[in-house]
Amino acid sequence: MKYSGAEIIIKLLEKQGINIIAGIPGGANLPLYNALYKSKIRHILVRHEQSAGFIAQGIARSTGKPAVCFATSGPGVTNLLTAIADAKLDSIPIIAITGQVATSLIGTDAFQEVDTYGMTIPITKHNFLVKNARELLSIIPEAFHIATSRRPGPVLIDVPKDVQSQFIEFDAWPKKIKPRKKHAINMKAIKKISQMLNHSKKPLMYIGGGIISSGAEDFVCKLARKNSIPVVSTLMALGAFSADEPLYLGMLGMHAAMSTNFIIEEADLVLAFGTRFDDRATGHAEKFCRNAKIVHIDIDDAEIDKIKKTNFSICADISQALKALIPFVRKDKRQRWILEINEQKKKYPICLAENNPMHPRSVIKAISELTSPDTIITTDVGQHQMWVAQNYPFKKPRTLLTSGGLGTMGFGLPAAIGAALVNPNKKILCISGDGSILMNIQEFATLAELNLNVTIIIMNNGYLGLVRQQQEFFYEKKYIASRFLARHSFKKIAQGFGLKAFELNSGGKVCSVLAKALSDCGPNLIDINIHHAHNVIPMVVPGRPNTEMTRGGIHE
């Protein structure tokens, strides 16, 4: 057989089951696009490379499978970097294939040359610079294997233009690399954890995104119900334990309900599963759960004892570990602990009664009443993201796609497009802010072109709201660079791109406009004008323990 490097890449992507690629062509990856011309793989032409990365993430986050994006050398790559870094921090398996100047030009400051390999070392799980087309036969399968094995993450393959055009002869296509055999679970360690749990009076499960990556949600539920263990979730794990479960205490940390952060501090045993003690979750890490023994199970050895010294830990796949653990755990109703929890909940009620239908919490509640547990919600970053996390009752894993670790404004819309492409029977909602939506607003064009079942909801407060809130709480109300002076019509902008659009300025029509937009199958947008002074409360003072929460001023 004789194939070019570009043809080898496309053939091997097909063999990996890839049927959608998002990207933008340019001089240095045109041979790759030329090979794609003959393929059945669907190409999504985005309007900015960052969106190609986030579309790949939307696919990967909503399906659990690896997804691919393309960019050309130089500015194509630099535009993609944020999406790659975002995937690294949230452990999302994407594969970025980038064009590079010809090998003979590398290091000469050639047109559109940047050191892609060097720049992506710290933001990828692994990266490759391909020097010969033959290497692609091993690199492509290896890239998929690395991106998806153990703790998932992004892999980048930089392919010089001459390597894409180089023809080589070979006898057979490489096979997919079989998933590595999982390490046998250390049963002695599992028994020890079961003993710690059986001796505990006030245990608590603290679950992270690893539960979703591993598909461990049913085991979490079984364990929680069997031993009556209350569960708190990080932002990344929302949906892994249904908000309907009586043992569910919601999100922990910076924007948790007060009762949740106080209950955590009462626990005598914290079971940290598939999580990494991120500062947004733990507050001041040293002071987090000082009276509790901490058991940590994570797939990534590097996370163990990194931020919080644990009493007992194992490095393992969390599904495997929980499956092994459950039979050793006794049934328990834990009436006293549950009673204590319920008292705390009464003392610090989660949501204040709302009479204002335009309050963000009321809007989220209205949305939740019009959606199904299968609806996929993407968010951007800011107050609106936290209002969603606090108030939308996620019931299933992979129904919240949000930029947790990097906190990237601009994530929501392209991630929604990615999710919609691979979930054609589901409604996708992108809940965004007036600041964030502008960061990838050019993708209105892509969305209109693809005619996907996406509704964009803009919580429009005329501010970089979360910045304004921090200035109010922690910088003596010295508001600088957080207010948008120019007001524009998102409705008209959306219509200009070919989307249906609605505006909501008063409470009277919230439900009917939402119902109309959500029942429509095509893409549309609702611009909701909310009062600028609403805050996300409660809030832990950054760097302080989780128990030091503020409710801010009068505007909640």
Ligand X SMILES: Cc1ncc(C[n+]2csc(CCOP(=O)(O)OP(=O)(O)O)c2C)c(N)n1
Torsion of Cα atoms, 265 then 269 then 273 then 275, to 10°:
30
Number of residues counted as binding ligand X (CB under 6 A): 20
Query: Smallest distance, Å, CB 410 to ligand X?
Result: 6
* Footprint of ligand X on 378-397 (CB under 6 A): 380-384
Q: Alpha carbon of 380 to those of 18, 54, 369, 456, 489: distances in Å?
A: 27, 12, 21, 11, 19
Query: Smallest distance, Å, CB 434 to ligand X?
Result: 5
x/- letters, 445..484, toward Mg ion (CB under 5 A) = ----------------x-x-x-------------------
Given ligand X, Mg ion, none, residue 384, with its beta carbon under 5 to 8 Å by kind, binds ligand X
Query: Smallest distance, Å, CB 413 to ligand X?
Result: 11
436 near ligand X (CB under 6 A): yes
Instruction: Give the residue with the Cβ less far from ligand X, 54 or 288.
Output: 54
CA distance 168 to 33: 19
Query: Smallest distance, Å, CB 398 to ligand X?
Result: 23
Which of 346, 318, 359, 338 lies closest to 533 in space, CA to CA?
359
* Of 64, 357, 407, 498, the one binding ligand X by CB under 6 A: 407
CA distance 359 to 205: 32
Give how far the C-alpha of residue 396 lies from the chain's centroid of Cα atoms, to the nearest Å: 14
Length of the chain: 556
507 near ligand X (CB under 6 A): no
Given ligand X, Mg ion, none, residue 216, with its beta carbon under 5 to 8 Å by kind, binds none
Instruction: Give the residue with the Cβ less far from Mg ion, 283 or 465.
Output: 465
Which of 275, 467, 440, 446 lies closest to 384 in space, CA to CA?
467
* Of 135, 303, 434, 527, the one binding ligand X by CB under 6 A: 434
Query: Smallest distance, Å, CB 79 to ligand X?
Result: 13
Residue 109 backbone zone (phi > 0: left; psi -120 to 50: alpha; other: beta): left
Instruction: State both tokens at 536.
Output: 């996300």
- Angle ∠(11,111,98) on CA atoms, nearest 5: 25
Query: Smallest distance, Å, CB 470 to ligand X?
Result: 9
CA distance 511 to 364: 11
* Of 466, 514, 526, 528, the one binding ligand X by CB under 6 A: 466
Which of 428, 423, 399 lies closest to 239 in space, CA to CA?
399
234 near ligand X (CB under 6 A): no
Given Mg ion, ligand X, none, residue 436, with its beta carbon under 5 to 8 Å by kind, binds ligand X
Query: Smallest distance, Å, CB 280 to ligand X?
Result: 12
Query: Smallest distance, Å, CB 236 to ligand X?
Result: 16
CB distance 428 to 419 below 8 Å: yes
Residue 333 backbone zone (phi > 0: left; psi -120 to 50: alpha; other: beta): alpha
For 338-376, b/e burial (b = at least 16 CB within 10 A) is eeebeebbeebeeeeeeeebbbbbbbbbbbbeebeeebb
* Of 97, 459, 517, 528, the one binding ligand X by CB under 6 A: 459
434 near Mg ion (CB under 5 A): yes
**Strand partners of residue 160:** 100
Query: Smallest distance, Å, CB 110 to Mg ion?
Result: 41
Measured from each CB, the residue nearest to Mg ion is: 433
* Of 320, 408, 423, 440, the one binding ligand X by CB under 6 A: 408
Query: Smallest distance, Å, CB 438 to ligand X?
Result: 8
Query: Smallest distance, Å, CB 460 to ligand X?
Result: 8
Given ligand X, Mg ion, none, residue 380, with its beta carbon under 5 to 8 Å by kind, binds ligand X
467 near ligand X (CB under 6 A): yes
Residues whose CB falls within 8 Å of the CB of residue 54, separated by 6 or more in sequence, listed in order: 83, 86, 410, 411, 413, 414, 415, 418, 440
Q: Alpha carbon of 58 to those of 23, 195, 253, 366: distances in Å?
A: 14, 40, 25, 25
Instruction: Give the residue with the Cβ less far from ligand X, 93 or 433.
Output: 433
Residue 490, φ and ψ in degrees, nearest 5: -65, -30
Q: Which stretch binds Mg ion (CB under 5 A): 153-161, 325-333, 385-393, 425-433?
A: 425-433
- Angle ∠(36,37,39) on CA atoms, nearest 5: 60
464 near ligand X (CB under 6 A): yes
Given Mg ion, ligand X, none, residue 467, with its beta carbon under 5 to 8 Å by kind, binds ligand X
Site residues (CB under 5 A) for Mg ion? 433-435, 461, 463, 465
Site residues (CB under 6 A) for ligand X? 380-384, 407-410, 433-436, 459, 461, 463-467
